[in-house]
Structure 1
Amino acid sequence: MEIKELTTEQAWREAYKVMRQLRVHLDESGYLELVKEAVEVDRYHLAALYEGMKMVAVVGFKPMTTLYYGRFVWVCDLVTDEHSRSKGYGEQLLKFVHQWAEQHNFSSVALSSGLQRQDAHRFYQKRMGYSKVSYVFKKEL
């Protein structure tokens, strides 16, 4: 098992095969456009976990600073390939993000999760030690 940061368009393209299972609203070209902009503008990082030569899970995250959280890392995307779930890959990727955050002097890691994703909520709270601290609100414009 190996985790690698993905820094090229070709690597991002490879990650789309897994990411599209979470971000079903994005086609490949829209996904690539957003990843490129997020990397350039928001310091977005994309990393993948490989089992042998096969990419089985991906995580997207970015460092942020706000008055509420201070310096923290926001997990934007976390998904394991549907054929590789329940093997601890999500846990390994979150641990990778935690280590990255500590190495870069960030004090916490935060994320949001869709209201319907009850299994994910149990995973974040019980297995990974996250606390439910707020609701996220969104208004379409």
Structure 2
Amino acid sequence: MEKIEFKECKTNEEMIAAFPVMKQLRTHLNEETYISLVTEARQKDQYRLFALYEGNQIVAVAGFKPMITLYYGRFVWVCDLVTDQAKRSHGYGEKLLNLVHDWSRKEGYERVSLSSGLQRKDAHRFYEDKMDYDKVSYVFKKEL
């Protein structure tokens, strides 16, 4: 197994390098829109994008942001978490989510939350069985 390391994607080049993996989760995005949204979210929402490298290859990415609401208090919202399809079931998602947990604790946040599409049964098993997340609500949306 090659060396594993985490790197925060801050530059356009680093964000572009992470795009092929992110595209597997966010299939509706093209590279230009992705860069624009990540850049704006970093500026306005404290969004952080981390890549997990195995050697020189990005095998998983996670995007998250700190938030404060009356319901959850101080927490971190995981906006995006995806492992490259060819690299799944090797523990990369767990490693990356643990990085989010560690970052959150260090920064003084009380919990981590996320949503997952109804069709993503394997992801639900991962969050509940492997990562000990509780299913606490449904997420609703309305297109305007």
TM-score (normalised: structure 1):
0.99
* Correspondence for 1:118: 121
- C-alpha deviation, 1:38, in angstroms: 0.4
Identity over aligned residues, as a percent?
Answer: 62
Equivalence for 1:52? 55
Matches for 1:78-117 after TM superposition, within 5 Å: 78-117=81-120
Match of 2:26 in 1: 23
Q: Which amino acid aligns with 1:66?
A: T
- Match of 1:20, SS state, is helix
In the other structure, the counterpart of 2:134 is 131
Q: Distance in 1 between matches of 2:98 and 2:19?
A: 22
The aligned residue for residue 74 of structure 2 is: 71
What letter is aligned with 2:59?
V
Mark the runs of 5 or more structure 1 residues left unpaired by the alignment: none
Over residues 23-43 of structure 1, what are the superposed CA-to-partner deviations in whole Å (9 max), with x where a residue is unaligned?
000000000000000000000
Report how far residue 4 of structure 1 moved: 1.1
* Aligned counterpart, 1:43: 46
Shift of residue 82 of structure 1? 1.0
The one-letter code matched in structure 1 to 2:6 is I
Which runs of 5 or more structure 2 residues have no equivalent in the other structure?
A: none
Q: Match of 2:31, as an amino acid? A: E
What RMSD, in angstroms, separates the aligned Cα atoms of the two structures?
0.5
> 1:52 and 1:37 mapped to 2: Cα distance?
29
Give, in whole Å, the separation in 2 of the partners of 1:115 and 1:29: 28
Q: How many residues align?
A: 141
Give the TM-score normalised by structure 2. Answer: 0.97
- Matched residue of 1:48: which SS? strand
Counterpart Cα distance in 2 of 1:11 and 1:74: 22
Partner Cα distance (1:4, 1:13) in 2: 13
